[in-house]
Amino acid sequence: MIDLSGKSAVVTGGSRGIGRAIAIRLATQGADVAFSYRGNETAAKETAAAIEALGRRALPVQADVSDPAAADTLVKTALEAFGKIDILVNNAGVTRDDLIMRMSLDDWRTVLETNLFGAFYVTKAVTRPMLKAKGGRIVNITSVSGQAGQTGQANYSSAKAGLIGLTKATARELASRGITCNAVAPGFVLTELTQDLPENLMKQLTEATPLARFGTTQEIAAAVAFLASDEAAFITGQVLGVDGGLVMQ
């Protein structure tokens, strides 16, 4: 039984999709949850209400983590509210897909700055409080695109591959203080982003997945909750694929 009672968590990009499922799952297991959202206040309020309905404290913070000052503010706000941060989940991400020869420099930069730089900024901000507490769990949401590459996603694949390197470096740096850092690599997951894909592409992606289906946001959240728990105390620097067998390494 995963018990996160008395723990406090920060989830970036927690208002929708995988981020929302993670925030709610951590609350279900007993944690208070602060989460960032970029602009969708309605979605943020819905996530906060779902967390509070579980009897946990919710703290929505409007913050674009690609801005280092906003990342610092997110962590400071959570520390002021909860007194500590036991768990950080770097989930915030964007896509700007295009072929390399057509990809604009802005689209390259935007994806790297949110998906990779943002995770670094928030990790950097929680490092000192976690070191003082002599413990903590950091979970980064990477992707099969970061492991295998994806046509039309040079920016996203690069950012998610970079996140794997960041995960391993963070794990090595912080291990002596009882802080673990791992990554979860989702495969194709049913979210608002994927539900509108053309039927033939959905069929193609399903056929490429050995378990022959898309994953759910709850399945990703379950893996994150495990890595954030005491049960995973001896696991660090790992990438856990939750992808139906799509990428086997």
The region that residue 237 occupies, defined by phi over 0 for left and psi between -120 and 50 for alpha, beta otherwise, is left
DSSP sequence for 167-200: HHHHHHHHGGGTEEEEEEEE-SB-STTTTTS-HH
CA distance 184 to 227: 9
The pair of structure tokens assigned to 94 is: 């964007």
Q: List residues with catalytic annotation.
A: 156
CA distances to 125, 133, 170, 184, 200 from 128, in Å: 7, 9, 13, 24, 48
Contacts 24+ apart (CB under 8 A), 114-117: 114/64, 114/65, 114/66, 114/159, 115/156, 115/159, 115/160, 115/163, 116/158, 116/159, 116/160, 116/162, 116/163, 116/166, 117/66
Q: DSSP letter at 98?
A: B
Apex 240 CA angle, 206 and 115, nearest 5? 85
Q: Is 68 helix (H, G, I), strand (E, B) or coil?
A: helix
